[in-house]
Structure 1
Amino acid sequence: MKSFTIEEINTILGGELVGSTTLKITGPEQLDKAEPHHISFIGSTKYIKYWNNSKASAAIVNENLTVDLEENRALIKVKNADLAMAKLLEVFNPQPPVFDHEIHPTAIIHDSAIIGKGCKIGAGCYIGKDVVLAEGVILYPNVTIMDETTIGSHTIVWSGTVIRERTEIGAYCIFHTNVSIGADGFGYRPSEDGRGLVKIPQIGNVIIGNGVEIGANSCVDRGKFSSTIIGDGCKIDNLVQIAHNCELGRSCIMAGHSGLAGSVTLGDGVIIGGSASIKDHTTIHSGATIGAGSGVMGDVEAGKTMLGYPATESREMLKQWVALRKLAKQ
């Protein structure tokens, strides 16, 4: 078990140590569940009240907060407690699963595939024709990589993920369990006789930039005749749907259960809240935020925050909610 003195932790974080504790810190924990060997964090005033009843011997605290100290307890004051805790979590992060073989004997790898130096391929993986894995790629057991796919260096793909043919993936990406990349887009039209549906072939692909992370059970469908594009640094939560021909700029965030219909365009730094739905052929410009559960029916200007269903500019929507409450009381 890893353990550190409070002084060692402060050296890692580069904060201001206030007070002291003789106890070794064996891990981080939230205030109400912490034991004496834990360190917790206080990022806003609403959590200060929990500190007095917490058993934690130390806490990482935003430097603008005033927090009381008792004997044998310590605070590490930093500019941003959330970011400091993220750095500390890296220190305590357990080692990932061990590979007994760099390439497991049960993995099926096509003769034409190119496997880079230092790649690790788990049991039951399938790697198709003309696939290229750059150096340091890790495929956990039961990953499927279909023909002509390329994956950049040090990308990690967790078990159950299927990456369909012709996908292009950058470096340092992470795909969690059961992600689907490059499945058919959802395209149908009524048949001429009106008695059925005609499937529209989806012959494009998916292009994913560098440093992209996609959560468990999320889907990115391939384009109808060009590419679905996920820009560098995008972070996609679990259970997210990105439909055919969508284009995401850099560093977009999509929270769980949100979804983009076909041909949606997101600028850089767009944030989509949980369970939000975006209509097809809509553009959300850079820096915009879509609140949780909102339904976007048209284009959104850069930097705007939208709320509600249908989504409306946040200040206007808040006024509507206030008016409805007043009306309900009459």
Structure 2
Amino acid sequence: MAFTVQDIATALGARLEGDGTIQIVRAAEPAHAGPCDIALAMDPKYADGLGRGAARAAILWDGADWRGLGLEAAVFVPRPRYAMSGLTRLMDPGPEIAPGIHPSAIIEPGARIGAEAAIGPFVVVGARAVIGDRVRIASHAVIAEDARVGDDALILHGVRIGARVRIGDRFVAQPGAVVGADGFSFVTPEKSAVENVRETLGARGDAAAQGWTRIHSLGAVTIGDDVELGANTCVDRGTIRDTSIGSGTKLDNLVHVGHNVQIGRDCLLCGQVGIAGSSKIGDRVVFAGQVGVNDNIFVGDDVVAGGATKIFTNAPAGRVLLGYPAMKMESHIEAYRGLRRLPRLFAQVAALQKAVSKTHDTD
């Protein structure tokens, strides 16, 4: 697939200078760009790479001297990373899923398939499931009974959508994602050691030895529009009410959302985030990788938590968190600085003790 430099500038809503008819087949780093590539040199620090490559056209930072850099055409963007979103959208061919329903797919009675849907090999669509218009489903995916998937969804290889799950429009699920598995919920006939520890914050008590009994998940999962799930991400169904994810929220690979969790709109959850059951996450919340959230707590709107933060108590709106346990980021940084000073402080205290001891010996 080829594009002209003018096509790229138009897609980005960006300013073009030079020859807009140059044909481009791919994007490349400046030092590795060939004559049919568009070089990505959106910061002055990448200018040297243009001299080592053979690009005729590049995406540059505002104010760059494109002629002086030896180029025949240039596209100027004020916000490089945002420009990358438009460029990659234009140039990404997406997965090859043939139109129509593959002969090996199984469509159970009562299922409804929308117009222009593409359903790949070995896909199973359960009884009474509803698949929206222009949905694309790659091989070996399963859409269980009574599930609903909105229009223009992309469901990639091996995704599992459980029974009664409701999903909005423009949903994207990367390979292996699971939506609507049972929640991890078990109880003992008598009070357990875990319950004692939670109440006392440390004492196991005299809980009897006993086995675990399953609490079944009667709820499902409700997902809004424009939600994306990463590879092998898991969203558990609710116990009674649905687990829910708001419109515009994006989940990275290996994220786990427990039963009954409510996640707001336009949140960003990076790899290996885990949210325990019945917690509520506000709108526009950002969790970096490996953030953990305790069960039955609330995280307010616009909270940002740095990597590996562990949130055990309610977090007010707008708070920036870091650490284990979570605290204000500036407080955590100061505490860590103090921790690094401890060896020197211990040495100073030891020296003082030694000096005081010598003074007493002299007396």
Instruction: Tell me if both proteins adopt one fold, taking TM over 0.5 as the criterion.
Output: yes
Partner of 2:103: 105
Query: Counterpart of 2:24 in 1: which secondary structure?
Result: coil
* Partner residue of 1:234 out of 236, 249, 271: 249
Deviation of 1:111 (Å): 1.4
1:140 and 2:138 equivalent? Answer: yes
Task: From the superposition, tell whether residues 109 and 3 of structure 1 become closer, same or farther in structure 2 (CA, over 3 Å).
Answer: closer
Partner of 2:155: 157
For residues 41 and 335 of structure 2, what CA distance do their matches in structure 1 show? 34
Task: From the superposition, tell whether residues 208 and 177 of structure 1 become closer, same or farther in structure 2 (CA, over 3 Å).
Answer: same
1:283-294 maps to which residues of 2 (within 5 A)?
283-294=298-309
For residues 226 and 8 of structure 2, what CA distance do their matches in structure 1 show? 28
Partner of 2:266: 251
* Stretch deviating more after TM superposition (129-138 or 70-79): 70-79
Partner of 2:319: 304
Task: From the superposition, tell whether residues 87 and 13 of structure 1 become closer, same or farther in structure 2 (CA, over 3 Å).
Answer: same
CA contact (8 A) 2:6 2:21 kept: no
- AA in 1 matched with 2:171: C
Deviation of 1:243 (Å): 0.5
1:30-69 maps to which residues of 2 (within 5 A)?
30-42=29-41, 47-48=45-46, 51=49, 54-55=52-53, 57=55, 58-63=57-62, 69=68
Partner of 2:177: 179
1:130 and 2:145 equivalent? Answer: no
Task: From the superposition, tell whether residues 325 and 81 of structure 1 become closer, same or farther in structure 2 (CA, over 3 Å).
Answer: same
Query: Counterpart of 1:216 in 2: which secondary structure?
Result: coil
For residues 51 and 100 of structure 2, what CA distance do their matches in structure 1 show? 48
Deviation of 1:289 (Å): 0.6
1:29 and 2:28 equivalent? Answer: yes
Query: Counterpart of 1:154 in 2: which secondary structure?
Result: coil
For residues 159 and 312 of structure 2, what CA distance do their matches in structure 1 show? 32
Query: Counterpart of 2:321 in 1: which secondary structure?
Result: strand
CA contact (8 A) 2:30 2:46 kept: no
- AA in 2 matched with 1:78: V
* Stretch deviating more after TM superposition (109-118 or 61-70): 61-70
Query: Counterpart of 1:303 in 2: which secondary structure?
Result: coil
1:78 and 2:93 equivalent? Answer: no
Alignment size in residue pairs: 327
- AA in 1 matched with 2:166: E
- AA in 2 matched with 1:148: D
CA contact (8 A) 1:263 1:280 kept: yes
CA contact (8 A) 1:39 1:56 kept: no
For residues 44 and 121 of structure 1, what CA distance do their matches in structure 2 show? 42
- AA in 2 matched with 1:188: F
1:2 and 2:17 equivalent? Answer: no
Deviation of 1:220 (Å): 0.2
In the alignment, structure 2 segments of 5+ residues that lack a partner are 191-207, 346-363
1:206 and 2:204 equivalent? Answer: no
Q: What is the TM-score normalised by the length of structure 1?
A: 0.89
1:272-283 maps to which residues of 2 (within 5 A)?
272-283=287-298
1:225 and 2:237 equivalent? Answer: no
Deviation of 1:195 (Å): 2.4
Task: From the superposition, tell whether residues 325 and 64 of structure 1 become closer, same or farther in structure 2 (CA, over 3 Å).
Answer: farther
- AA in 2 matched with 1:172: R
- AA in 2 matched with 1:92: M
CA contact (8 A) 2:244 2:261 kept: yes
- AA in 1 matched with 2:278: S
Deviation of 1:37 (Å): 3.7
Task: From the superposition, tell whether residues 212 and 64 of structure 1 become closer, same or farther in structure 2 (CA, over 3 Å).
Answer: farther
CA contact (8 A) 1:221 1:243 kept: yes
1:269 and 2:267 equivalent? Answer: no
Partner of 1:215: 230
Task: From the superposition, tell whether residues 308 and 54 of structure 1 become closer, same or farther in structure 2 (CA, over 3 Å).
Answer: farther
Q: What is the TM-score normalised by the length of structure 2?
A: 0.82
Partner of 2:164: 166
CA contact (8 A) 1:219 1:241 kept: yes
In the alignment, structure 1 segments of 5+ residues that lack a partner are none
Task: From the superposition, tell whether residues 34 and 295 of structure 1 become closer, same or farther in structure 2 (CA, over 3 Å).
Answer: farther
For residues 307 and 43 of structure 1, what CA distance do their matches in structure 2 show? 31
For residues 94 and 135 of structure 1, what CA distance do their matches in structure 2 show? 20
Deviation of 1:41 (Å): 3.1
